[in-house]
Amino acid sequence: MKTRTVDSNWDWNFGHGLQDYCSGALSVAYSTKMKALSWLGDCFFDANAGVDWKNILGSKNTKDSADYSIRDIILGESEITEIVYFDSSVEDRKYTCTVRFKTIYGETIEVKI
């Protein structure tokens, strides 16, 4: 997998040619976090990508719904072989999650969402 790198605001990097791309486990980490941070229907190249944050953050089952969506994104990545750690919380409608997963590249990656 090859993915465009992002800056500190999670915007894509442009203008540096091939240096604006990464591959391997880092690419999996970027792709996974970017999909989890995206709002459903807000991605110009894939309207079905992202999480339905609008409805999840306003529901009574916020944490369970968000956990399910995040796990679904992670397990949907073909380069991820298993989730080895998953912890999440919701406080004042703010969802946070830390997940560690193994990749086909033999690395364990931790992503904070």
- Which residue did the predictor score with more confidence, 112 or 59? 112
Q: What is the CATH number of the domain that holds 28?
A: 3.10.450.40
pLDDT digits (tens, 9 = 90+) for 2-50: 888 888 887 888 888 888 888 888 888 888 888 888 888 887 777 888 8
Is residue 101 within 8 Å of 55, Cβ to Cβ? no
**Considering its fold, how many domains does the chain have in total?**
1
Residue 59 pLDDT level (bands cut at 50, 70, 90):
low
Work out the mean pLDDT of the chain and round it to a whole number. Answer: 87
- Domain interval for residue 19: 2-112
Phi (first) and psi of residue 100, to 5 degrees: -120, 135
Q: In this predicted structure, what is the pLDDT of residue 22?
A: 83
Q: In this predicted structure, what is the pLDDT of residue 5?
A: 85
Query: What does pTM read for this prediction?
Result: 0.81
H helices of the chain, in order, are 24-37, 53-56, 62-75
Q: In this predicted structure, what is the pLDDT of residue 89?
A: 92
Residue 67 pLDDT level (bands cut at 50, 70, 90):
very high
Compute the average pLDDT of residues 82-94: 90
